[in-house]
Structure 1
Amino acid sequence: MTAPAEPQELLLKLLDPASRANPYPVYRQILDSGPMQMPESTLHVLSGFTECDEVLRHPDSCSDRMKSTSAQQAVAAGEAVRPFGPPGFLFLDPPDHTRLRKLVSKAFSPKVVKALEPDISGLVDGLLDNIPETGQFDVIESLAHPLPVAVICRLLGVPIEDEPQFSSASTVLAQGLDPFVTFTGETQGLEERMRAGLWLRGYLRELLERRRAQPADDLMSALISVEESGDQLTEDEIVATCNLLLIAGHETTVNLIANGILAMLRNHEHWTALSADPGLAPAIIEETLRYDPPVQLASRVAGADMTIGDLRIPKGDIMMLLLAAAHRDPATTERPDVFDPTRGQIRHLAFGHGPHFCLGAPLARMEAMVALSAVTKRFPNARLAGEPVYKPHVTLRGMARLDVAV
């Protein structure tokens, strides 16, 4: 009989690039092991659905890492914990989070998103028109990547011709979300992320100056007008907000579209069903969000002494939530390892809960709905042309290439 793996051993397996193509057996091991508490690291790793859901909803859960014991220790040691300046509002707590989110939320309201549907459909049709009717194509390069990039560029006011530069920077920065420091105490690729982060902030500042001189009908111009009308918004906050939206606005939606396509091609009856009935798209998207979520991990800081389930969590400790494990918790979902959009109620935490519920959820769902419906209708007999190739990211796990034959 094999002895159960130690918590540190399981977490290292999760970080191992060999697990990227299929991390779910590791997640199951962690889930079966129960919550991991490492008081010497002020870290608690939670993988059950109920516990993760409770943390996301808890009023004492904080998103500002500066409130953690480890960050305060780094500050006391003279380390620069925020080398780029203030973070995006995703990593802030009220009142700053409330103020910034309110200013941005109008651009992502259901009404605004609905009005974008014809443009998104046109973009998808144009991308699919460029795919040959026979042969094979890379889903990432041909559809899943260019669509969200075009949409977020249009919303923010970022020139689409600059896409290769900021996409390259955003890919590097996305690795900064991976919990290498939290799990191992080691930094990986820090210098490269510093260069990418400084470049992207500098790029956005230059673009802000152009928008000041020539305002347009976009979110960046709207944020500038707010800044110039009073003290609600600083230039650093505009840069941080645009930086967050540019990265979060396309990395996660690329993964959602690609993950949905891969899941249907591996379970072809759902590809065939959607090609005949676009009304099935919402259920397929929700099941994709549960089964293979674009964001696999999230973290919170205990803003006070907390009790989650049977766990006591001291103020300042970090709670790492393994959302991808929680989604496959058999206590919550029957047959959790099966992709089944017809299962009825689909419960997931892919967009979070509480005050930090994903602002872009309606837009991501809309883009995925249009893309998945159109690609299955256009290519009803499509099939996988090889195993997918994955990026190194752990938190924003996604594919770098997915070849499909038509």
Structure 2
Amino acid sequence: MAEETPWQQALRYANRANPYPFYEELRKTPVSRQPDGTYVVSTYREIVSLLHDPRVSSDPRKRSGPVPAESSAQPGAEPIREAVISLEPNIITSDPPEHDRDRHMMTPHFVGTPRSPHLISDLEPEIRRLTDGLLDDMRDKTRIDAVDEFAYPLPVTVICKVLGVPVEDESRFHHWIAWTLWTSDPRPPRRRYGTGWQAVARP
């Protein structure tokens, strides 16, 4: 059995708690070809170059060639990939000019308009109140998850306020965001149910 590459090891959920040794190995080779024919780019300069290269696309529908053998071997990989490709592109998975149009539509909500240039800074008292509340909730705990209990709920709650999401719908909005982030994570484990695929709770 072939030895796993640092990238393959970094993707393993068993290594998720501390993937940094594998990232360090990846940085030794800025552009690394993987056994399935794909490439992993792992250093800042090369990544920035790709982000500004018009030949590189974020749209999975523009991918040419068959699914790499390794991905095809993973149970459920092909149906999931086809489902992703069939979805309407969003701001993450679209290229200019569609990406630029969507970004232009979203930006005023967070940087303000000429009539409300201090949109976010005016929320500082509310953000401080939210921050104090989240910290108070952790006061008597001996163990916390900094992401789940602070780094995630604070920005999502502020985003809800900026977008005008009703207070009673915030929990639903949080759920949608969490599900979106989960399903976009590399290779989440899935189990097939009937004709569909359902995510399996991670260990």
TM-score by structure 1 length? 0.38
Q: Distance in 2 between matches of 1:167 and 1:148?
A: 10
Offset at residue 13 of structure 1 (A):
0.8
Give the conservation status (yes or no) of the 8 Å contact 1:66–1:72: no
**Inter-partner Cα distance in structure 1 for 2:7 and 2:59:** 23
Pair 1:88-2:90 in alignment: yes
SS at match of 1:192: strand
Residue 121 (structure 2) pairs with residue 114 (structure 1)? yes
Contact 2:109–2:163 (8 Å) recurs in 1: no
From 172, 176, 179, the counterpart of 2:183: 176
1:59 maps onto 2:61 in alignment: no
1:122 partner SS = helix
- After superposition, the CA RMSD in angstroms is 3.5
Shift of 1:164: 4.0
The answer on 1:99 being equivalent to 2:101 is yes
Following the alignment from structure 2 to structure 1, what is the Cα–Cα distance between the partners of residues 106 and 48?
A: 25
Residue 392 to residue 174, structure 1, CA distance change in 2 (3 Å)? farther
Q: Does the C-alpha gap of structure 1 residues 34 and 24 become closer, same or farther in structure 2, counting only changes over 3 Å?
A: same
Query: Secondary structure of 2:33's match?
Result: strand
Kindly, what percent of the aligned residue pairs are identical?
33
Answer yes or no: is the 8 Å Cα contact 1:42–1:70 preserved in 2.
no
The whole-number CA distance in structure 1 between the counterparts of 2:185 and 2:137 is 35
Instruction: Answer yes or no: is 1:192 the counterpart of 2:193.
Output: no
Structure-2 residue corresponding to 1:146: 153
Asked whether the equivalents of residues 46 and 52 of structure 1 are also in contact (C-alpha less than 8 Å), the reply is yes
Residues 65 and 107 of structure 1: CA distance in aligned 2, closer, same or farther (over 3 Å): same
Is the Cα–Cα contact under 8 Å of residues 150 and 160 in structure 1 kept in the other structure? no
Q: Distance in 2 between matches of 1:124 and 1:175?
A: 25
One of 10, 35, 43 as aligned partner of 2:38: 43
8 Å CA contact 2:110–2:162 kept in 1: the answer is: no
What is residue 11 of structure 1 aligned with on the other side?
Answer: 7
* Distance change (3 Å), C-alpha of 1:148 and 1:94: same
CA apart distance, 1:105: 0.8
The offset of 1:65, in angstroms, is 1.6
User: Unaligned stretches of 5+ in structure 1?
Assistant: 74-78, 181-186, 194-390, 394-406
Question: Partner residue of 1:24?
Answer: 20
Secondary structure in 2 aligned to 1:86?
A: coil
Counterpart-to-counterpart distance in 2, 1:80 and 1:150: 30
User: 2 CA distance for matches of 1:82 and 1:157?
Assistant: 30
Alignment partners' CA distance in 1, 2:186 and 2:141: 40
Question: Which is bigger in relative contact order (C-alpha 8 A, separation at least 6)?
Answer: 1
* Match in the other structure for 1:360: none
* 1:180-199 per-position Cα deviation (integer Å, ceiling 9, x unaligned): 3xxxxxx7327225xxxxxx
Q: Could you list the runs of 5+ residues in structure 2 that have no partner in the other structure?
A: 69-81, 192-196
